[in-house]
Amino acid sequence: MKLCTFTTGDQTRIGVAVGGEIVDLAAAAPELPKSMRAFLGAGAAALERARAAAAGGKFRLPIGSVRLEAPVLDPQKFFGVGLNYADHAAETGRTPPEFPTIFNKQSSCVNGPFAPVVLPPGGGYTDYEGELAFVIGRRCRHVPRARAAEVIAGYTICNDVSVRDWQQRSPTMTLGKSWDTHGPLGPWIVTADEISDPHGLDLKTWVNGELRQSSNTKNLIFDCYAVVETLSTVCTLEPGDVISTGTPSGVGVAMNPKRFLNAGDVVRIEISGIGHIEQTVLAPAPTTPVL
């Protein structure tokens, strides 16, 4: 299934994408939880009910009539993995890590799959990073790699937008990874049963129609299951937590000359078996305090 969060009128709900339509689960299965986090937390029974509702042929909306949101609007945790492709480590002049390089993207940066990305004041050195992300489906701790697939609800696409000058100011990278609008996710979560091998997916990123990144998730240094094992050793993972797995070579900061994002640029990221997301870059927002 393709699980999505969408807005129609003034209401935001969850649904299942089927072809060019969205099955509105609030109407087709009103007993189900209304947010993606709660829905995933309801477990296998909720998934089966949604699957049956999607097959029912009722309560469908044309996909063009709704606004797709990030599939998980409010993850409790949003992790990223740095330098997780050897070619990306090489292009940045870094040695591939021997242990996963984990950082936080604050959840307030979460953005829709086709919503604009806003540059920081002054423009900054803002970069794109096309990535495979996965979403946790079960509360878990101390998960061995061999069982990690059991706790992954499904897979989605992330643009790990990075403000490089802020990223370099702190060794944790969090400040450069967490600007508002800099966490586009989507367009949906493809459930794990429909991705036979998450480590064999083509990943491509275009900027203004120019192909910048082209790789395959088989090239991950630490695959999805290894990352689950590492993170769950440290902290409890919850349904709806998002983990973005890292980007391959081709980012703007590694080009000569460097090619950062400017207002008006369009970034498109595609991953086979999932779909695509696309962001238009907007000029910096006003800096009037919001209190």
Q: What percent of the chain shows pLDDT beyond 90?
A: 92
3-state SS, one letter per residue, for 82-125:
ECCEHHHHHHCCCCCCCCCEEEECCHHHEECCCCCEECCCCCCC
Kindly state whether residue 153 falls inside one of the protein's structural domains. Answer: yes
CA distance 71 to 280: 19
Q: Which of 69, 101, 121 is the last residue of a domain?
A: 69
Based on the fold, state whether residues 271 and 181 are members of the same structural domain. yes
What average pLDDT score do residues 76-99 get?
93
Q: How far apart are alpha carbons 161 and 269 in whole angstroms?
A: 12
Do 23 and 165 lie in one domain? The reply is no
Q: Which of 26, 50, 69 is the last residue of a domain?
A: 69
Asked if residue 159 lies in contact with residue 281, where contact means CB atoms within 8 angstroms, the answer is no
pLDDT at residue 268 in the model:
99
Note down the domain range covering 183: 78-282
> Does residue 157 belong to any structural domain of this protein?
yes
* Claim to verify: residue 142 and residue 274 sit in the same structural domain: yes
The answer to whether the CB of 248 falls within 8 A of the CB of 131 is: no
* Same domain membership, residue 92 and residue 7: no
Work out the number of other CB atoms within 10 angstroms of the CB of residue 259.
Answer: 17
Residue 267 and residue 239 share a domain = yes
Q: Is residue 173 part of a domain?
A: yes
CA–CA separation, 2 and 71 (whole Å): 10
Sign, CA dihedral 202-239-129-100, equals: negative
| Residues 34 and 133 reside in one and the same domain | no
Is 39 contained in some domain? yes
Residue 157 predicted with pLDDT over 90 = yes
Determine contact, residues 5/71, Cβ cutoff 8 Å. Answer: yes
33 and 124 in a common domain: no
Q: What is the pLDDT of residue 131?
A: 98
Residues 171 and 252 in one domain: yes
How confident is the model over 113-136, as a mean pLDDT?
Answer: 95
**Contact partners, residue 24, CB within 8 Å, separation at least 6:** 8, 13, 15, 59, 60, 61
Residue 288 falls within a domain, yes or no? Answer: no
One domain, residues 140 and 244: yes
Q: Give the C-alpha separation, 251 to 182, whole Å.
A: 15
Domain count, the chain: 2
Same domain, 39 and 94: no
Which pLDDT value is given to residue 33?
98
